[in-house]
């Protein structure tokens, strides 16, 4: 049996063990990397460890460390309160706002993980405070970020369009961007109705009716007690209390008090500096966030004690272990073996579908840029034959490779999971895994039908 097939079987066994036993999948994947790499392939330990994603490790630790401090000292609470005020407490509008805000950085050229790293912690806290499903909030941020992936300014768009054009084929950059935006908007809409959107709409209507009835009752009481200054004072107190109760939210009771003074402004300045450095100057957001977190803890040691324990270590181990194993698969040619098998398929439409399925399945564990960089050249002979639409297949491949980024095995999914409230993190991780893996099948099949078969 070849090394490639052994590596695939070991991967399936690792997933099976992690499913039936409470063992971290990342830890199992690391052990599998050492076992297959050293015992089967003949690599030494240093070579195996070249696949360990040090950049992802620093990214996850730095971002979760910084926002753990921001959460502990009440800065996130104050930001969330300010955002809710801008939306006038409209809970139905919050998910849409998350989607739009997440789409802006990638559309203007930022890397997806950079935007997710800055928005996911705030979105998670906002969801928890305003009784919105963390699954819904997480998917809104991820799909929003994905919606800008293939704009002409984004590195993914530049790579995909450039690769096709260098091979003498024409692709519409606008069609690629618009189709990806539309597909992710539909995914976000679906997530809204699957994960509590209908309940939000019903509750918003009920709250509106309750407020209207309360205001009518207060007005009637005010008219009945007019002329009595004491009664008027009692009514005013009751109205204020009633208004406060109407806008109180479960989850606010276990939150830290909103930050004020030097801790708040210092934390805000640190977050803004990280955002500007990452989005405007393309500096490594993990290094920036880690530096900012350490500086904050040096300046305010009393308010940040113990926060490093909330830095998402379980999620960090998960993604780093899986990525290390996938890097091994890439080194020994397993991914190329799977991709090259498409060349044996004589029916163009079926070959296109298989390419899209491979894009989704492999990108769930590896870099979307890397997968697209490998698969688009493999699709050139198919595109050159003229049996499938060029722009349509490129769109289908691009969307298939990125719609799966909700899995916790991608940096975007991992950052979102690590930003969830600690009590909900394990359940959220399982739910996001199910959603992400459903995209492995749904995204390729739907995009193939829409853009290849019907395109």
Comparing 171-180, 253-262, 329-338, the range with the smallest average pLDDT is: 253-262
Over range 344-366, report the average pLDDT: 84
CA angle 313, 317, 319 (to 5 degrees): 120
Q: Supply the pLDDT for residue 242.
A: 41
How many Å apart are CA 30 and CA 35, to the nearest integer?
A: 9
How many Å apart are CA 183 and CA 22, to the nearest integer?
A: 35
Question: What's the pLDDT band for 176 if we cut at 50, 70, 90?
Answer: very high
Over range 309-333, report the average pLDDT: 83
From the list 327, 338, 344, the residue with the least C-alpha distance to 381 is: 344
Q: pLDDT, tens digit, for every residue of 16-33?
A: 898 788 888 889 999 999
Are the beta carbons of 393 and 379 closer than 8 angstroms?
yes
Structure tokens, 49: 């460890």
Check residues 349 and 309 and name the one with the higher pLDDT: 349
Structure tokens, 401: 């490779």
Q: pLDDT, tens digit, for every residue of 424-449?
A: 888 898 899 999 999 999 999 999 99
Whether pLDDT at 346 is above 90: no
How many Å apart are CA 141 and CA 228, to the nearest integer?
A: 53
Structure tokens, 450: 């829409």
Are the beta carbons of 138 and 117 closer than 8 angstroms?
no
Mean pLDDT of the chain: 83
How many Å apart are CA 339 and CA 334, to the nearest integer?
A: 9
From the list 181, 190, 159, the residue with the least C-alpha distance to 107 is: 181
Ramachandran assignment for 312, one of left (phi > 0), alpha (psi -120 to 50 degrees), beta (any other): left
The pTM assigned to this predicted structure is 0.77
Q: Supply the pLDDT for residue 260.
A: 66
Structure tokens, 13: 């066994």
The answer for residues whose C-beta is within 8 angstroms of residue 2's C-beta and 6 or more apart is none
For residue 142, CA distances in Å to 111, 184, 232, 340, 438 come to 12, 9, 51, 31, 15
How many Å apart are CA 352 and CA 54, to the nearest integer?
A: 34
Whose tokens are 């830095």? That residue is: 311
Are the beta carbons of 413 and 146 closer than 8 angstroms?
no
How many Å apart are CA 304 and CA 131, to the nearest integer?
A: 27
CA 360 vs. chain centroid, Å, equals 16
Length, in residues, of the chain: 455
Report the chain's terminal Cα–Cα distance, integer Å: 41
Share of the chain above pLDDT 90, in %: 31
Share of the chain above pLDDT 70, in %: 85
CA angle 407, 410, 413 (to 5 degrees): 55
Whether pLDDT at 103 is above 90: yes
How many Å apart are CA 318 and CA 66, to the nearest integer?
A: 20
Structure tokens, 312: 């998402």
How many Å apart are CA 346 and CA 72, to the nearest integer?
A: 59
Question: What's the pLDDT band for 52 if we cut at 50, 70, 90?
Answer: very high
The conformation of residue 420, written as its DSSP 8-state character, comes to: S
**Could you tell me the sign of the dihedral formed by the alpha carbons of 404, 405, 408, 413, in that order?**
negative
Whether pLDDT at 131 is above 90: no
Q: Supply the pLDDT for residue 247.
A: 39
Over range 377-403, report the average pLDDT: 87
């Amino acid at each position: 049996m070849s090394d490639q097939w052994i590596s695939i079987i070991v991967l399936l066994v690792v997933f099976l063990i992690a499913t039936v036993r409470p063992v971290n999948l990342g830890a199992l994947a690391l052990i599998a990397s050492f076992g297959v790499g050293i015992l089967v392939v003949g690599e030494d330990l240093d070579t195996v460890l070249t696949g360990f994603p040090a950049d992802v490790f620093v990214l996850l630790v730095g971002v979760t460390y910084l926002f753990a401090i921001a959460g502990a000292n009440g800065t996130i609470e104050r930001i969330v309160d300010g955002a809710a005020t801008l939306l006038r407490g409209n809970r139905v509008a919050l998910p849409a706002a998350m989607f739009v805000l997440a789409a802006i950085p990638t559309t203007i050229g930022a890397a997806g993980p950079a935007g997710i790293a800055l928005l996911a912690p705030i979105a998670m806290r906002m969801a928890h405070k305003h009784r919105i499903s963390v699954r819904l909030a997480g998917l809104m941020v991820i799909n929003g970020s994905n919606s800008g992936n293939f704009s002409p300014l984004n590195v993914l768009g530049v790579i995909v369009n450039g690769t096709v054009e260098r091979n003498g084929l024409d692709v519409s950059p606008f069609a690629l961007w618009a189709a990806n935006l539309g597909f992710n908007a539909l995914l976000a809409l679906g997530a809204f109705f699957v994960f509590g959107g209908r309940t939000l709409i019903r509750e918003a209507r009920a709250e509106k009716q309750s407020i209207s009835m309360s205001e009518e009752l207060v007005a009637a009481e005010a008219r009945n007690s007019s002329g009595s200054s004491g009664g008027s004072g009692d009514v005013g107190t009751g109205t204020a209390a009633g208004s406060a109760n109407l806008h109180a939210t479960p989850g606010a009771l276990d939150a830290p008090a909103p930050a004020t003074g030097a801790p708040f402004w210092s934390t805000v300045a640190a977050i803004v500096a990280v955002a500007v450095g990452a989005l405007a100057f393309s500096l490594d957001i993990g290094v920036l966030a880690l530096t900012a977190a350490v500086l904050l803890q040096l300046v305010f040691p009393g308010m940040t004690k113990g926060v490093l324990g909330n830095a998402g270590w379980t999620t960090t181990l998960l993604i780093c272990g899986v990525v290390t194993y996938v890097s091994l698969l890439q080194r020994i040619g397993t991914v190329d073996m799977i991709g090259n098998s498409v060349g044996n398929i004589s029916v163009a439409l079926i070959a296109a579908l298989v390419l899209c399925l491979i894009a989704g399945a492999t990108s769930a564990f590896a870099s979307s840029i890397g997968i697209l960089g490998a698969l688009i050249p493999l699709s050139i002979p198919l595109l050159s034959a003229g049996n499938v639409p060029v722009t349509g297949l490129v769109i289908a491949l691009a969307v298939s490779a990125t719609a799966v980024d909700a899995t916790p095995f991608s940096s975007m999914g991992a950052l979102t999971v690590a930003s969830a409230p600690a009590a909900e993190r394990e359940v959220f991780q399982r739910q996001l895994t199910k959603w992400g893996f459903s995209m492995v099948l749904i995204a390729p099949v739907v995009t193939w039908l829409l853009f290849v078969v019907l395109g």
